[in-house]
């Protein structure tokens, strides 16, 4: 995963890799951006967790195209995390160091053996000298205590610190024949500098002269004060970003494009023969060893464990939500069914569930019920407080629902508890009941939220509900349009 490759409404789109011992598969994953304050990895974790719990969202299914079905769910304990840290320390995916070979290609040169004859002592090398000093700065190896990229302790070379990565350049004109064989012959990435004025770069037909390791190559040519760049790689490596602009690049743009391409190419070669046997296979075996230590946890076992863990935490106290479900109005109940209707509310947060008593024969039920829910273990963004209105007399017929995230609950509680704007209203609010799967309003529910602090007991916070109770009054006939029970209205 890296920075998003693009954005779309409600999502950021990232590239991801899923790997096997034989290679890798690249795909895109859409991560909900419903709350940018939540770190990307946390949002991604919730995506994966939902999939592992067999609760896939439509967004996840379309984004991953089913590739997360092989998620291996294990018990999330500290030892497992330490094993993953050890994996990254032993077989890190992130590169901290890079070695890049640099070849100087004069006009008409095709064979690497001809390029190896070029030196930096000629006056015509000013363009190449300008280029290599742009890519890094010269160091004396005998005085250098940092990363040396297998250069030894004698002579000179070029070094650059780029995005916290130490880069050593194996500059062919500065090396002898042994250096060409030992260093550039083992460099995965090799850059060819082409003199200005050369119309065509002929890809060397004898790249084997560079050794069997090189797989990622860049061609750079100065054009006035700017540069033209191109890239090619061995056929066993799949395409990798970033895309290269067709227009000329400024010196700084050229440097960043070349180093980014080189870095991404070096990462890609880890998953392709022959380099994969040095990195990916050992990493895969290490990961399989970790999996063997931590048995697979079934969905049923995980739910039972999480429920027990939450209960233990909740028994120790913690923040609580006091929800007052006062009334509902304008429920979408046909008049012919009204006498046989008994609306009630089902309220739930995770495995905590409560319900009001059913109120008979009305589309304007009044419950005046209060429930207390523990908020310990509830995710602020992804776990919902769900309120569903049902008909008790008609096989729990659906009458609408409303959902709140814990973040929503906190914001509404601050308003209801008079914390946002002291002196403003401290009353409940009407919230729309929506039809499942749409934004169509099919009723309203009258609610009030408040929070109970950690050190307080519920009985100390309970207040008389009289001030929140709904008073039923008959509406004048001119406004009612009838005298049956369905014409009774709520006055607040």
Q: What pLDDT, in 10s, does the model give residues 56-83?
A: 444 444 344 444 444 555 555 667 778 8
Q: For domain 318-491, give the CATH superfamily.
A: C2 domain (2.60.40.150)
Q: Distance between CA atoms of 42 and 419, rounded to whole angstroms?
A: 29
Select from 205, 208, 218 the least CA-distant residue to 109.
205
Pairing of strands 97-105, 226-233: unpaired
> Which of 160-169, 286-295, 402-411, 447-456: highest mean pLDDT?
160-169
Instruction: List, in sequence order, every beta strand (DSSP E) within 21-76.
Output: 23-32
Q: Distance between CA atoms of 218 and 220, rounded to whole angstroms?
A: 7
Tokens standing for 137? 């700065």
Sheet holding 23-32, edge to edge: 6-8, 11-20, 23-32
Quick count: other Cβ atoms within 10 Å of Cβ 46?
19
> For residue 158, what pLDDT band results from cuts at 50, 70 and 90?
very high
The pLDDT of residue 65: 41
Burial class of residue 101, CB neighbours in 10 A (0-12, 13-18, 19+): buried
> For residue 1, what pLDDT band results from cuts at 50, 70 and 90?
very low
Q: Distance between CA atoms of 449 and 444, rounded to whole angstroms?
A: 16
Average pLDDT on 379-392 reads 88
List, as one string, the DSSP characters of 243-295.
PPPSS-B-HHHHHHHHHHHHHHHHHHHTTSTTGGGTTHHHHHHHHHHHHHHS-
280-327 per-position pLDDT tens digit: 788 888 888 887 887 777 778 777 877 787 777 777 778 889 999 999
Residues in the chain, how many? 492
Tokens standing for 355? 């319900």
How many Cα atoms within 13 Å fall on the side-chain side of residue 145?
A: 0
Facing residues of 227 across strands?
A: 222, 249
> Which of 1-10, 213-222, 459-468: highest mean pLDDT?
213-222
326-359 per-position pLDDT tens digit: 999 999 998 888 888 999 999 999 889 999 999 9
173-184 per-position pLDDT tens digit: 999 999 998 999
Facing residues of 139 across strands?
A: 157
Select from 9, 30, 165, 22 the least CA-distant residue to 98.
165
464 Cβ contact partners less than 8 Å away, ≥ 6 residues apart:
none
pLDDT for residue 437 is more than 80: yes
CATH 3.40.50.11210, the chain: domain bounds: 97-269
pLDDT for residue 472 is more than 70: no
Q: Distance between CA atoms of 283 and 83, rounded to whole angstroms?
A: 12
Dmax (CA) for the chain in angstroms is: 106
Instruction: List, in sequence order, every beta strand (DSSP E) within 106-185.
Output: 137-140, 156-162, 165-171
Query: Considering the chain, what is the average pLDDT of its residues?
Result: 77
Measured between alpha carbons, how far apart are the two ends of the chain, in Å? 53
Class of domain 97-269: alpha beta
- The answer to whether residues 358 and 344 touch, using CB atoms and an 8 Å cutoff, is yes
- If you ran DSSP here, which 8-state letter would residue 340 be given? G
CATH 2.60.40.150, the chain: domain bounds: 318-491
Q: Distance between CA atoms of 424 and 340, rounded to whole angstroms?
A: 41
- The answer to whether residues 364 and 490 touch, using CB atoms and an 8 Å cutoff, is yes
- The answer to whether residues 468 and 428 touch, using CB atoms and an 8 Å cutoff, is yes
Average pLDDT on 150-159 reads 94
pTM of the model: 0.51
135 Cβ contact partners less than 8 Å away, ≥ 6 residues apart:
102, 158, 160, 169, 255, 258, 259
pLDDT for residue 55 is more than 80: no
Q: Distance between CA atoms of 281 and 481, rounded to whole angstroms?
A: 78
């Amino acid at each position: 995963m890296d920075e998003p490759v693009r954005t779309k409404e409600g999502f950021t789109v990232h590239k991801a890799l899923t790997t096997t011992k034989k290679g890798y598969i690249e795909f895109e994953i859409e991560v909900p951006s419903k709350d940018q304050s939540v770190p990307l990895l946390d949002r991604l974790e919730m995506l994966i967790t939902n999939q592992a719990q067999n609760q896939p969202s439509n967004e996840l299914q379309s984004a991953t195209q089913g590739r997360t079905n092989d998620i291996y769910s294990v018990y999330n304990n500290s030892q497992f995390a330490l094993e993953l840290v050890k994996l990254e320390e032993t077989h890190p995916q992130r590169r901290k160091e890079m070695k890049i070979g640099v070849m100087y290609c004069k006009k008409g040169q095709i064979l690497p053996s001809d390029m190896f004859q070029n030196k930096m002592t000629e006056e015509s090398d000013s363009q190449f000298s300008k280029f290599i000093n742009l890519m890094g700065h010269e160091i004396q190896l005998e005085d250098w205590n940092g990363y040396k990229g297998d250069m030894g302790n004698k002579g000179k070379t070029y070094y650059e610190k780029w995005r916290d990565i130490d880069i050593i350049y194996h500059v062919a004109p500065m090396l002898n024949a042994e250096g060409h064989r030992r260093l550039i012959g083992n460099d995965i990435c090799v850059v060819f500098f082409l003199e200005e004025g050369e119309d065509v770069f002929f890809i060397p037909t004898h790249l084997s002269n560079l050794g069997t390791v090189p797989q990622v190559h860049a061609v750079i040519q100065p054009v006035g004060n700017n540069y033209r760049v191109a890239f090619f790689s061995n056929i066993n490596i799949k395409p990798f970003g970033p895309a290269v602009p067709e227009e000329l690049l400024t010196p700084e743009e050229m440097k960043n494009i070349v180093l980014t391409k080189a870095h991404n190419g070096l990462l890609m070669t880890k998953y392709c023969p022959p380099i994969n046997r040095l990195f990916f296979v050992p990493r895969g075996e290490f990961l399989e060893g970790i999996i063997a230590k931590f048995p697979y946890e079934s969905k049923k076992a995980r739910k039972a464990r999480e429920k027990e863990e939450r209960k233990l935490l909740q028994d120790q106290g913690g923040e609580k939500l006091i929800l007052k479900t006062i009334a509902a109005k304008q429920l979408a109940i046909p008049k012919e069914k009204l006498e046989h209707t008994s609306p009630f509310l089902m309220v739930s947060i995770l495995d905590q569930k409560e319900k009001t008593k059913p109120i008979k024969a009305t589309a304007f039920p009044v419950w005046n019920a209060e429930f207390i829910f523990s908020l310990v273990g509830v995710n602020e963004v992804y776990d919902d407080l769900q309120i569903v209105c049902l008909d008790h007399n008609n096989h729990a017929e659906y009458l609408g629902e409303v959902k709140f995230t814990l973040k929503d609950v906190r914001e509404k509680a601050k308003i209801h508890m008079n914390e946002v704007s002291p002196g403003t209203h401290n009353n409940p609010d009407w919230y729309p009941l929506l039809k499942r799967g749409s934004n169509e309003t099919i009723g309203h529910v009258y609610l009030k939220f408040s929070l109970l602090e950690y050190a307080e007991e519920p009985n100390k916070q309970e207040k008389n509900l009289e001030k929140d109770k709904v008073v039923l009054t008959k509406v004048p006939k001119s406004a009612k349009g009838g005298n049956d029970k369905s014409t009774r209205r709520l006055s607040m």
